[in-house]
Amino acid sequence: MRTEDVLAAIATGLWRWDNASGIVSLDAEAARLLGLPAEPVRLTEAAVRSRFHPVDWNEIDGVVNLAVAEGTLAEARLRIMDERGRVIRTVRSRSKPLVEGGDYQLVGTLQEVADPQPGAAGPHTPITGDWRRSREAFLLDAGRALAEARSTAEVLRVAASLSMPGFSPDGLAVFGVSGDRLTVIGHHGQRDGDEGPFTSMSLATDYPAAEVVRTGRAIYLPSPEEYRRRFPMTWPLAERFQRQSWAFVPLVVAGRTMGAWMAAFKHQVAFTPDERSVLTTVARMLAQALARAGVAESERELSLGLQRTMMPVLGPGIPGIQVAARYVPTGGGLQVGGDWYDMIRLPGGRRGGAGRIALVIGDVQGHDVRAAALMGQLRIALRAYASEGHRPDAVLSRASRFLYGVNDGYGADGDGPGGGPRFATCLYLEVDLETGTVDIARAGHPDPAVRMVDGTVLLRPTAGGLPLGIDADTDYPTTRLTLDPGETLMICTDGLLETGGHDLDSGWERVRRLLEAHRGDDLEELADTLVEAVHGPGSHHTTGPLADRREDDIAVLLLSRRPATTVRETPRRTLMTIAQAEPERIAEAREQVRQLLHDWTDEDQLDAAVLMVSEMVTNVLVHTDGDALLTAEVACGEKSRRLRVEVSDASDELPHKRHPGEMASSGRGLVLMEMLADAWGVEPRGEGKTIWFELREPAGPEGCCG
């Protein structure tokens, strides 16, 4: 005989609930117990749910979650309802969760029982065995839901959705205290406006919630007669809601009664010790959740005020340029940190001309109030030094000395107030809006990037010094680049690059792809795209609650020169200096050429160009006492693109071609250029010389430059 037949003989049905697919399989007896035709059937979770009393469904959901967490049986009593919403029978469900990965299946039995489920029509009579099990599951779910609530409104929504095992209230209200008055923080189960008589009620009023706040003791009113007897003055206010039982429980945090919670019932509740225990526990969790939400909301309000104070308004448009910026603080603690950006009008511009501006971006170590305070001080100091007319290197040197002095009050071991000394990274750019020249000084900060007119994106390596505040006498060399019309400059803090498990290199590749994929000249849209790629839609807004998953503050600043009328003919160009003391930057020069030729069709020519650049720069560093200046440009010809690379130095000694032996370690530079370049040469130029080569890309199917 089959197992199903044996179970059917004793009026026991078999069911299987697949949580992943949401499909419930019933044998014939289980289907009959649910009021369906007595035949095997597979139903959706919603179809099965419609057969259970709504209160009971919430209970079994909590019981199952508890059983999954503990690896035990899930047991519950369920009222089965017909199409008209009438209870036709009560069944006992016993099932075992089978967990696979993050999903589970319930395999169990259904059996009809004679005694009714708590909460049915008539006096409330809890069944202690299963009810206690349901209570544990309910409290587990309630605690988790309230702990995750982040605002007062969210706490109230969670409280309204709680379905207590066997005696769910149909009306809830949360009362607070303002001075000597009772206030209504929120309510559920009543119409808007019904709270009017209870708002701003004196604590001396003969009302249950007011007495609870005064005494700190709960009040349970199991019947209208009891309410009328104990609180005759305010009974008329409650009578119109036509409820049968009320519980008023204090909301206590750290020994202080901060308000009261009312749970009202349409059926009579005896308020047994078990039921009072549940209500008291929920009130305690509710009070803690409201306290946390209040603190979080105060912190958000403070952080938004700090953000608005510390973040500059970029101000009215400056002729010839477009600027956009975003600041997104970390989600931890106060939503403020040490990242900042600024744009400063510099003195000395010609009357009627665009003049000069400074762009600043930086990151003070830490994500706390002290980091934000230091950021504010440093920002003001940088503005002052820039407004005095100092060059970029002098501005950063003075700023570093300033922060070093501020740090004097903090011991190296962190024995000063707020911990040890803090440092800050910073990138300071002086932009001539007439010529497009950009002078850059860098203090331990990520390099800037430039998006060219045709969409090519280059990370611009710049010389730099130590972060600000580490050494009072640090020097900051200046690097110059030119921003052509139509090009966009991006500077950012490391939060944009390193969030999401990325390091600086992989994070930069992610940002580079976003910059290259952007179409159009709307910098506001581009700024949103960069931030949303890291944190999701909506995270660029600096005036609202922010997600806790943020790992670091983000600041990003974009500047674009208005494009010229002949945008497509603008050549693609890069320029960088390789100092004698920095031979490791030869690798950066090779990478610059690779990025410049990212869409070059001939891979062999690309490898040849990188090899020749390496030879030319190395030759300068080995055979002269000066630095090497690398200039590379891709321009459109009549039929194909042309790459021209120049390496200049201050030495007058011209290179000459040698014939190295097979085992020689040098002397191949000019030989390689003669073999690989379409054209090359050496030109004396004032004090020094320039060696150059050219490569012409074979014409593609779409013609020159696509």
pLDDT in tens, 608-655: 999 999 999 998 888 888 888 889 999 887 678 899 999 999 887 777
**Which strands make up the sheet holding 245-253, listed edge to edge?**
201-202, 181-188, 171-178, 256-265, 245-253, 219-221
| Of the listed ranges 54-68, 139-153, 268-282, the one predicted with least confidence | 54-68
Higher pLDDT, 373 or 231: 231
Strand partners, 628: 578
Scan for tokens 């020749």, then name that residue.
612
DSSP assignment letter at 472: T
Output phi, psi for 29, to 5 deg: -70, -40
How much is the average pLDDT of 107-136?
59
Q: Does the pLDDT at position 365 exceed 70?
A: yes
Q: Are 449 and 542 in contact (CB under 8 A)?
A: no
**Which strands make up the sheet holding 679-684, listed edge to edge?**
572-578, 628-636, 641-649, 689-696, 679-684
Q: Are 500 and 534 in contact (CB under 8 A)?
A: yes
Q: How confident is the model at residue 569 (pLDDT cuts 50, 70, 90)?
A: low
**CB-side exposure of 548: number of CA atoms within 13 Å?**
5
Q: Are 17 and 105 in contact (CB under 8 A)?
A: yes
Q: Does the pLDDT at position 340 exceed 70?
A: yes
Q: Is the pTM here over 0.75, yes or no?
A: no
Q: Does the pLDDT at position 369 exceed 60?
A: yes
Max mean pLDDT among 214-228, 270-284, 367-381, 519-533 falls in 214-228
Average pLDDT over the chain reads: 80
pLDDT tens digit sequence for 148-161: 777 888 888 887 77
Tell me what pLDDT residue 403 has. 92
Helix axes 369-387, 392-406, angle to 10 degrees: 140
Percent of the chain with pLDDT over 90: 25
DSSP string, 600-624: -S-HHHHHHHHHHHHHHHHHHHHH-
Higher pLDDT, 355 or 138: 355
CB-based contacts of 100, cutoff 8 Å, min separation 6: none
Q: How confident is the model at residue 87 (pLDDT cuts 50, 70, 90)?
A: confident
pLDDT tens digit sequence for 257-280: 999 999 999 888 888 877 888 888
Distance CA 110, CA 78 (A): 9
pLDDT tens digit sequence for 667-703: 567 788 888 999 999 888 777 889 999 999 886 544 4
How much is the average pLDDT of 314-321?
70
Q: Are 51 and 37 in contact (CB under 8 A)?
A: no
Scan for tokens 């910026």, then name that residue.
325
**Residue (of 330, 323, 389, 289) closest to 534 by Cα position:** 330
Strand partners, 557: 325, 491
How much is the average pLDDT of 205-229?
92
Output phi, psi for 108, to 5 deg: -165, -170
Q: Does the pLDDT at position 600 exceed 50?
A: yes
Longest dimension (CA), the chain: 115
Q: Are 354 and 580 in contact (CB under 8 A)?
A: no
Q: Does the pLDDT at position 549 exceed 70?
A: no
Strand partners, 646: 631, 692
Q: Are 134 and 165 in contact (CB under 8 A)?
A: yes
CA distances in angstroms from 117 to 56, 110, 129, listed in the order given: 9, 15, 12
Scan for tokens 């055979």, then name that residue.
623
